[in-house]
């Protein structure tokens, strides 16, 4: 409810008589502050108690009302205080100028008390409404930001939960999802300005790509234990079954997409990565034998990240390779297994790959791969 006695009105006039008349008129309903110059107006307006309305004389020595208004509007602390010009200049052009400069109203002298009170009341009501709307908007914006942050966190946690669920089927993966997520993000950032990738690798795309990356092997939950956990080399038939994890993963994500009412971009990328991260540049990969640029960018980046991490990680059928050896093998796959430009980005960011690998090391504890917190000597 509007309570006029709580509002502060600043009157500015170089005439002591005018200040007295206006003060006597307004004080019964408002708290009144006064200044007899433009400079004084600015000091009061920037004081501890901000006025809710300024009644400003135009013709004053030194800084005139137009100049004062300009200063008030350029200052974030005072730009929202409504200003009503009070002036003896009755020409329509003067009034138009004042309103164009940002005044909310224009009252000519000699003043009519009822007019001044009515105009002041109207402008204070309008300011109160604007302030209320601003507060409501700020509250709504804060709530939206909170909900978005909450949804973002929920999405990330859900992705991690699914990825870790897949990891429970394969005790050798350890921090694989954290490392590959870091590698993919580094590759994407390294290619952002490249002519072949600039149109795709926006900041938003890279963020979604990073979120989706942990789901690349989600399809392994559908592979039987005797194949997934086999300590030796797979037979041709077993390898055929193992390869189905790519399609199993993309099919599961596609089913999740069909269960919701609107498409989610990160699920689309997750589906691409799950299905095609084992495709090869020369068409010899699986499951669809895609060739070159037919392989989505997301899958091309994940291919490098996944193979590099597999090479430097311990498996029951092999030891971890030194980083330099893994680097050599990756480079040998340039133009055959991997997109040549992606390999160039890998080489340019190789030190970062090593840093990411060291940050998320695995160690073997009781026959299972666990996360390590301290890096070994540089390989």
DSSP per-residue codes, 234-290: PPHHHHHHHHTHHHHHHHHHHHHHHTSSS--HHHHHHHHHHHHTT--TTS--SSS--
* Closest by Cα among 183, 260, 191, 262 to 216: 183
Mean pLDDT estimate for the chain: 87
pLDDT at 368: 47
pLDDT at 92: 66
Write down the domain spans for the chain.
4-140, 169-371
Cβ-based neighbour number of residue 347 at 10 Å: 14
* Window from 19-33, 100-114, 325-339, 340-354 with minimum mean pLDDT: 100-114
Once rounded to an integer, what is the mean pLDDT over residues 343-354?
97
pTM: 0.60
* Window from 83-97, 173-187, 356-370 with minimum mean pLDDT: 356-370
Report the SS3 class of residue 176: helix
Tell me if the domain spanning 169-371 has CATH number 1.20.1070.10: no
pLDDT at 309: 95
CB 73 within 8 A of CB 147: no
Residue 174 has pLDDT above 70, yes or no: no
Residue 274 has pLDDT above 50, yes or no: yes
Strand partners, 334: 338
- pLDDT, greater one: 205 or 94: 205
What is the residue whose two structure tokens read 């991690």?
160
pLDDT at 372: 44
pLDDT per residue as tens digits for the range 213-229: 888 988 988 899 889 88
Q: Which CATH superfamily is domain 4-140 in?
A: Response regulator (3.40.50.2300)
In degrees and rounded to multiples of 5, residue 194 shows phi and psi of -70, 135
pLDDT at 30: 94
Rounded CA gap, 210 and 203, in Å? 11
Residue 3 has pLDDT above 80, yes or no: no
Once rounded to an integer, what is the mean pLDDT over residues 242-254?
92
pLDDT at 149: 72
19-28, 133-142, 259-268: which is most confident = 19-28
pLDDT per residue as tens digits for the range 285-342: 999 999 999 999 999 999 999 999 999 988 777 889 999 999 999 999 999 999 999 9
pLDDT per residue as tens digits for the range 308-322: 999 998 877 788 999
Report the SS3 class of residue 10: strand
**Number of C-alpha atoms within 13 angstroms, CB side, residue 192?**
12
pLDDT at 168: 63
Once rounded to an integer, what is the mean pLDDT over residues 177-184?
92
pLDDT confidence band for 68 (50 / 70 / 90): very high
- In which order are the strands placed within the sheet that holds 53-57? 31-35, 8-12, 53-57, 83-87, 105-108
pLDDT per residue as tens digits for the range 121-165: 999 999 989 888 888 888 888 888 777 777 766 666 666 666 666
pLDDT at 114: 93
CB 212 within 8 A of CB 273: yes
Rounded CA gap, 245 and 251, in Å? 10
């Amino acid at each position: 409810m509007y309570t006029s006695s709580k509002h502060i009105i600043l009157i500015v006039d170089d005439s002591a008589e005018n200040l007295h008349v206006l003060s006597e008129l307004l004080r019964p309903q408002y708290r009144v502050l006064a200044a007899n110059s433009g400079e004084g107006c600015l000091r009061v307006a920037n004081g501890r108690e901000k006025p809710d309305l300024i009644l400003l004389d135009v013709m004053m020595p030194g800084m005139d009302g137009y100049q004062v208004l300009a200063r008030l509007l350029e200052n974030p602390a005072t730009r929202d205080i409504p200003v009503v010009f009070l002036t003896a200049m009755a020409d329509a052009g003067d009034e138009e100028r004042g309103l164009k400069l940002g005044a909310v109203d224009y009252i000519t002298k000699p003043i009519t008390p009822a007019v001044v009170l009515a105009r002041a009341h109207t402008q204070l009501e309008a300011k109160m409404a604007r302030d209320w709307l601003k507060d409501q908007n700020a509250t709504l914006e804060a709530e939206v930001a909170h909900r978005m942050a909450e949804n973002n966190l929920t999405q990330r946690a859900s992705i991690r939960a699914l990825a870790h669920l897949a990891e429970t089927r394969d005790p050798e993966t350890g921090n694989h999802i954290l490392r590959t997520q870091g590698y993919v993000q580094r590759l994407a950032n390294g290619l952002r300005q490249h002519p072949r990738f600039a149109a795709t690798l926006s900041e938003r795309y890279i963020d979604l790509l990073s979120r989706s990356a942990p789901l690349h092997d989600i399809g392994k939950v559908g592979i039987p234990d005797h194949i997934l956990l086999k300590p030796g080399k797979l037979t041709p038939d077993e390898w055929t079954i193992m390869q189905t994890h790519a399609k199993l993963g993309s099919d599961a994500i596609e089913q999740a997409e069909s269960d919701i009412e609107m498409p989610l971009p990160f699920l689309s990328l997750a589906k691409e990565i799950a299905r095609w991260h084992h495709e090869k540049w020369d068409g010899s990969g699986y499951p669809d034998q895609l060739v070159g640029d037919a392989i989505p960018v997301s899958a091309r980046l994940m291919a490098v990240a996944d193979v590099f991490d597999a090479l430097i990680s311990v498996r029951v059928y092999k030891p971890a390779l030194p980083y330099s050896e893994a680097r050599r093998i990756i480079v040998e796959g340039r133009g055959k297994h991997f997109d040549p430009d992606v390999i160039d980005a890998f080489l340019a960011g190789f030190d970062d790959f090593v840093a990411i690998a060291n940050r998320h090391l695995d160690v073997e504890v009781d026959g299972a791969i666990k996360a390590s917190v301290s890096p070994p000597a540089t390989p």
